[in-house]
Structure 1
Amino acid sequence: MTVWRDVVGQDETVATLSAAAADPAQMTHAWLLTGPPGSGRSTAARAFAAALLCPDHGCGDCHECRTAKDGSHADVTVVATEGLSIQVKDARELARVAQHRPSVGAWRIIIIEDADRLTERAADALLKALEEPVPRTVWLLCAPSLEDVIVTIRSRSRHVRLRTPPADAVAELLVRRDDVDPAMAAYAARAAQSHVGLARRLARDEGARIRRRDTLQLAGRIGSLGDAMEAAADLASIATEESTASSAERDAAEKQRLLEQLGADPAARTQPPHIRSQVSALEKEQKTRATRFGRDVVDRSLVDLLSLYRDALVVQAGTPVELVNVDQTELLATLARSFSAEQLLACMTAIGTARERIEANVPPLLALEAMTISLRLPQRR
């Protein structure tokens, strides 16, 4: 067993990082790990951190390996924002932490799992730390692509690119690590398009599988303008329900814990001003987190829809290519029969445009309505 066991389908990346962990001559002070969503960027970063701190360069069993991978090691700082962006105050704190010598290990390691979410001012606040590196401090930055990170940061980092892992490798990981039934693991890996995190969720959460099925079924019901508006509202509603289900219990627990830490009575109808201000700050943070999560849920739904129209195009062309949605044969046949190849491509373009608009802060419902109008079945117009 090694720390690289869960970094699936990334042989070149593992070879590069493990060689650097074992040979100081191959090390540098900043690494930029890029790859598509679900490729395992943060998993690779944590494994690399463990390999750097492990006396055996990543055995996977020692205290250093275990604590580095779970983020509890004293010399490992992990930034995994749940908000829309990483603010300048957070970046300044990281730059301050980077100046400290390692406390127990050979390196002080700072992992930023969402470097693409650094605001421009936050990125500028990190530049000095990257331009004037401190000995024994290593930065591990993760982002979807080079273009998602400002040029001044990526020019000061060594780039390592991850690829989308094969579906069978993801399925094997689910079986081995999460004890998922092999048939379910194969379905989840294929449906998630090799996104490791989503595959795990689909395999273990029946509600997530039902919501995905409902999202795909919408495509066969968009005939009129009214159907398009209803489908957009349904997509937004699915995202809201999933966001609420995911955050309600955690939000309540966080508020309860904060009140206990402040010595306040959770049952009191009113609280002193200093407690109200901290509760208000927490609620604001939770709202930001919910906004991001809701957008992420919508984006996942759109990726699922995109795979559906892609499959319909494959079916129509009769190409011997593996389908993502093999359990939706009837719906795929309907779409392949109803649309021409050019119209299927136009549908895929409309979905891609909706994703870009939502990423650019267009209200999701408006972007979804514009998209679903373009997805209407031709013969029912």
Structure 2
Amino acid sequence: MSNTVDRPTLQRPVFPFTAIVGQEEMKLALLLNVVDPKIGGVMIMGDRGTGKSTTVRALVDLLPEIEVVADDPFNSDPRDPELMSEEVRERITADQPLSVISTKISMVDLPLGATEDRVCGTIDIEKALTEGIKAFEPGLLAKANRGILYVDEVNLLDDHLVDVLLDAAASGWNTVEREGISISHPARFILIGSGNPEEGELRPQLLDRFGMHAQVGTVKDPELRVKIVEERSSFDRDPGAFRTAYRVPQDHLREQISHSRERLSQIHLDYDLRVKISQVCAELNVDGLRGDIVTNRAAKALAALGDRSEVTVKDIWTVIPLCLRHRLRKDPLESIDSGLLVQEKFSKVFGYST
């Protein structure tokens, strides 16, 4: 008779993404960023207890596997020089063999109390001076390379740290300088921030650096609220059985994301539509060109997600409030939601109504 017992799963069970009720705006913004990480991340603002953190953690379960160089702290891509650490590049130049493994795209949580050294990494000055080597201890940005960096309550994070995160997210590189010694490594990640507007807003220049801005609110429909409570209770009672019940839709969405990422480069956005997107941005007095770029990218990602080869006007209508609402100049006397302002201007320029 065998005395062996089944090994328990070591990972904490994650609530399935496809089981999340409502909050369509937040779910769409997250999915589009996974399809095209160059959109530039998403800022999720909303009431407490609206499932912001649950939804972000559920997203990780859907992410595809990627190839990385084994034992490399930066998750270096074995083929793309832009996503390689300096050490991996040197090994390739010297014709040294690389051990390559497949791993799930990871999500890194950035705690509110994190120091700059913890985020960016540290250089051991003593070792560098005495032994003549660049002794670098990687930080959270290194771990997040080619993955997701999640900052809960980002509006409570020190402004200096937010600047560091956004600079790395925009450039794709993190540079650490100490006592004349400089080390750079790739830091391409999807930056996701969440927060409660009652606890303070981000500065406009920082908000502008997030590709998209999703708003979430407390569900008002009593029947929908009951459904959410029942789903959560079922999951807490038996996570394994609950996840099994959602395996088919989870697998389907996982395949849909993978397929969309592969065909993204083939999606066409008509020139006339691009001109009208820029016209909307200009008439809304959106500073800079980030709004134009992100709207173009998001519309293409949505078309890819819908298995279409051409971007439609409806695709742009769907994504443009998410891409522009946080880039509008705040008018304290304006009572209308900024997303509705964007849609009003869109309808006028495109001659479109739902």
Give the TM interval when normalised to the shorter protein. Answer: 0.3 to 0.5
Higher strand share: 2
Higher helix share: 1
